Copies of this chain bind each other. A is one copy, B any other.
Amino acid sequence: MNRIDAILQQKSVRITPMRQLVLKHFLQEDAVLGLNELEETFQKSDRITIYRTLKTFEEKGIIHSIQNGVSEVKYALCKEHCEEQHHIDRHPHFHCLVCGSIECLESVLLPPTILPQGYSASEIKMNIKGRCKKCQG
């Protein structure tokens, strides 16, 4: 069995052509992608089906969502131990204000945050805006 199918199976997602296609694309590109980009890439595919594929992937812990607050919701592969309904995004997301790119800063670990007495966290997300490596100077 190939890598794509293995991942789908391991995450309890039924294997279909659409899902193979989308997952393959994420693995190949290793990029942050939104619905519009994917629709552009797979012009023959139905937008709604791609939408639901993303939703399914997110729910099953294959990809995680990134909200930059500007355009649409973006998605990137989970490289950590995400499972159904339980995402651990231990890295911040960087949004470059110059080139507009969005990336996962995998190398940066979210520092442990001490919550006030009585609060408990199930998800922590950090979004950073600024200039990326390519856009300095």
Contacts and interface: CB of A to CB of B under 8 A. Distances in A.
Interface of A: 65, 67, 69, 73, 92, 94, 97, 105, 107-108, 111-133, 136
A120 B126 contact: no
A108 B97 contact: no
Give the interface SS of chain A, mostly helix, strand, loop or mixed.
loop
B116 A92 contact: no
A97 B119 CA distance: 11
Given A69-B67, A105-B115, A129 B133 contact: no
A100 to B, nearest CB: 14
Given A92-B124, A122-B130, A126-B126, 15 more contacts: A69-B73, A97-B122, A108-B113, A111-B111, A111-B112, A113-B128, A115-B128, A118-B132, A119-B131, A120-B136, A122-B129, A123-B129, A123-B130, A124-B128, A125-B126
A136 B118 contact: yes
Given A67-B69, A129-B121, A129-B123, A105 B116 contact: yes
Nearest to A115: B108
Nearest to A123: B129
